[in-house]
Chain A
Amino acid sequence: MGEERPNQGEAGAAEVFTLPEGEVNASAIMAEVERRAERLRREGLFRDLPVEELDRERAGAGETVISFEPLHELIFISQLAKQYARVDTYYPIGARRSPLGPIILLAKKVLRRFMTPYMDAVFAKQREFNAQVVKSLDVFLELIKRERDRSYKGGVDRYTAWEELGLAEDGRELYPEVLSAFPPGAEIVHLQCGRGEFLQRAAEEGREALGVEEDSRLVRICQEKGLRVLHSSPLDFLESQRPRSLEAVFMQEAGERGDARELLFTVNTLAQVMEEGGVAAMLNHCPRSILGTEEAFRDPTVVRLLHPETVAGLLRRAGFREVEVRFLGVPTEEEKEAWLAATGEKDSREAGDLAGLVQAPRRYLLEARR
């Protein structure tokens, strides 16, 4: 490599770091580190003070410390408060070294023995108050962290609200076709199982199915229906599985919400945990269909639609052998008519052309075999 770079630190401002030639070798780099460290020691170019002393010196120098990050500030205050939550009344007893030392020590011990019950009572209220303050701070801290986490996950909370209102469409009429994609007798894992409609349908057909859902309210809804469901994010669930251990996995609207990277991670992890010959199925909205697109965006938490070719490519790249796309959900005549009427195109000349677009299937089912 032989690259040279000036050291940015004050302590070694004049020196440049000469990287040893060839491959990265820790011992060779350490030889150079040692050489430079020796110069620091020799010339006294640094200070190595105990932290308390350094802290006092910096605080005493009148530096104004302003933190712009409320989360860090709260973490710090919470840590600081914990130091005072328990007021210690048992400070070690000492006595000056003098001939009277042992007597003074004894007197102090006797005094403490008699005073302790009274002092404990005085401090009890204070301790209780301190503990409450710490508890409140911890609650705030947890709330802030949780809110940040939620905002990152692309509004899981809002999606839940739509689910609870029953406004998010579920594609349940397509479930029999989805179930037929899985080998008979295989246990089906439904990632992001929502309110558990698919799990119910699977149970009706005598199939064994397990749901995975990260929102606790939806988990509760599923549990009230007597469905088997785990409270976990799909990625955490998949990462906790042994390699090649899952037979059948179902995902609905995969990658249509939240961060697109989650889909990448999920597909890659899925490929690691699916057993040889195992089937992963994904039921997504078809962007080629106007009705499918319209339905998808009725749910405001959907942020993108994915082409079947895109998802199929991801699955193949992750290691799935066979990937097959099936289009499902051809609109009925009534649905086509209703859409044309709603758009005011029912009697126009172009209605026939538009009907062709509308007739495209609304969903696609990807079957990927490991």
Chain B
Amino acid sequence: MAGEVIAFIPPRYGPEIVGGAEIHARMLAEEIQSRGYPVEILTTCAKDPYTWTGDYQPGTEVVGGITVRRFQQEPRKYSHRAARIEKRIAAKRPISVRQGEFWIRDVLYCPPLYQYLDRNRDNYRAFVFIPYLFGTTYFGIKTVPEKAYLIPCIHDEPFAYVSAFRRMMHSARGIMFNTQPEMELAQRIYGEGMRGRVVGGVAFKPYSADGDRFRFKYSIEGDFVLYSGRSDVAKNTPLLTRYFCNYLHNTGRDVKLVFIGSERKEIPYTFRKQVIDLGFVSERDKRDAYAAATVLCQPSTRESLSLVLLEAWLAEVPVLVHGDCAVTRDHVERSSGGLWFTDYATFHEALDFLLDHPEVRLEMGRRGREYVEENYNWDVILERFFAVLEEGESAAR
């Protein structure tokens, strides 16, 4: 099998790891393996995406039928210099490539992984790195540029403008973008000349869900807006809470906001009957929640694909997204599967409209489902995926 194996290199990997890029890597790897191509995962021992602490044991194990090789990463250093550089990055002030590298190394650095890549480069057909931001990707591509492919999952955030990433994007053998807006953003930041194309991310298969079951289990009646996924400032959930509470205060409508996802949310006391945090729920409950929801809201402005949006559309629920996120807005504009908002006033009016027009909601949900079925199926995605690999390989010859 030497030289045929396709290796995926996410910063974390495991069945309990919840993160867009990590789930993306897992779904893609499992699908490719199921079609008879040998696949391996090369990753760190970390579980926590902030502290990057090592919770898994280094070594080899099989997860979901795929060989996973874990390498011990260095503990995050939290140095003063890195903190100063991060402040500059956040303020979008220029930093040198050296400073960029120092900051990337300070957050996540995994020398045994780079040594393994260096020694075993001939045993693999390709190394697919995901996402762009971490040391696993940056130093990995630097180690094996001739076989490096990148799924950047890039979105418009200050970190994307770090100059070190420009070099990395141009040295990869091929880049697989999830959406057209993502590719346009990358071209705007890093310039033309990158070898890459839109691959489309991952595919979704239809599932059955029972909204009544969810409503019964969690005692939820009437209309509700659903948020699913990680809750933090980066995902804009405080903004959603703020807009929703103000909406309730301004309109007095009987509608709820339901959060599902593992992080704890700060729920304002006087809104606790209408803003409900269910915490982590099972996969089945999550799907039932999509089927039960009146509207799914995705307020994040930093999405490169938005798995939640695409998965929810399969349950035919209309969506409300942030208009400043080029990717989710593009999904909605192309599918007519929902609406978007850019400030409180548009949030207010768009939500009013969706709540008042059940027949339009149904139609929007149906269109969303059609959009996912047409654009996100494995045959199309894998054809594009292998096309990028073949283009890279023929360029190397």
Contact = CB atoms under 8 A, between A and B. Distances in A.
B249 A54 contact: yes
A136 interface: no
Contact of B352 (A12, A75, A239): A12
A72 B34 CA distance: 42
A69 B249 CA distance: 21
Interface string A45-80: 011111110110011000101010101100110010
A10 B363 CA distance: 27
Contacts of A122: none
A79 B339 contact: no
Interface stretch (A19-27, A203-211, A222-230): A19-27
A158 to B, nearest CB: 19
What interface size band does chain B fall in? 35 or more
A52 B332 contact: no
A352 interface: no
B345 A38 contact: yes
A38 B349 CA distance: 10
A28 to B, nearest CB: 9
Given A25-B336, A33-B339, A54-B249, A8 B345 contact: no
Nearest to B239: A51
B356 A8 contact: yes
Contacts of B277: 75, 79
B348 A59 contact: no
Contacts of A339: none
B242 A40 contact: no
B245 interface: yes
A55 B364 contact: no
Contact of A72 (B216, B272, B279, B335): B272
Nearest to A145: B217
A17 B246 contact: no
B271 A55 contact: yes
Most buried by A among B238, B251, B265: B251
Contact of B208 (A25, A71, A75, A239): A239
B13 interface: no
Interface in A166-185: none
A interface majority secondary structure:
helix
B350 A33 contact: yes
A300 interface: no
Interface string A36-48: 1110110000111
A152 B215 CA distance: 11
A9 B253 contact: yes
Interface string B259-288: 000001101111111001111000110000
A24 B367 contact: yes
Given A17-B353, A19-B357, A26 B208 contact: no
A242 B249 CA distance: 47
A269 B270 CA distance: 43
B353 A29 contact: yes
A5 B348 CA distance: 16
B208 A9 contact: no
B207 interface: yes
Interface in B212-247: 213, 216-219, 238, 241-243, 245-246
Contacts of A26: 332-333, 335-340, 364
B350 A46 contact: no
Nearest to A35: B349
A239 to B, nearest CB: 6
A228 B340 CA distance: 50
Contact of B242 (A23, A50, A239): A50
A101 interface: no
A72 B273 CA distance: 7
Contacts of A11: 250-251, 348
Contacts of A152: 213, 216-217
A294 to B, nearest CB: 32
A59 B249 contact: no
Interface of B: 34, 205, 207-208, 210, 213, 216-219, 238, 241-243, 245-246, 249-253, 264-265, 267-273, 276-279, 283-284, 332-333, 335-340, 343-346, 348-350, 352-353, 356-357, 360, 363-364, 367
Given A24-B364, A59-B270, A235-B208, 18 more contacts: A3-B357, A24-B360, A33-B350, A34-B349, A46-B344, A47-B249, A47-B250, A48-B243, A54-B246, A55-B245, A55-B268, A55-B269, A55-B271, A65-B269, A72-B272, A75-B277, A75-B278, A79-B265
14 contacts: A5-B356, A8-B356, A11-B250, A24-B360, A26-B335, A29-B353, A33-B353, A46-B348, A47-B246, A58-B271, A71-B218, A149-B217, A235-B284, A239-B284
Interface of A: 1, 3, 5, 7-12, 17, 19, 23-27, 29-30, 32-34, 36-38, 40-41, 46-52, 54-55, 58-59, 63, 65, 67, 69, 71-72, 75-76, 79, 82, 145, 148-149, 152, 235-236, 239, 242-243, 261, 265, 268-269
Among all A-B residue pairs, the 9 with the closest Cβ atoms: A9-B251, A37-B345, A55-B268, A58-B270, A48-B344, A26-B336, A33-B349, A40-B345, A37-B346
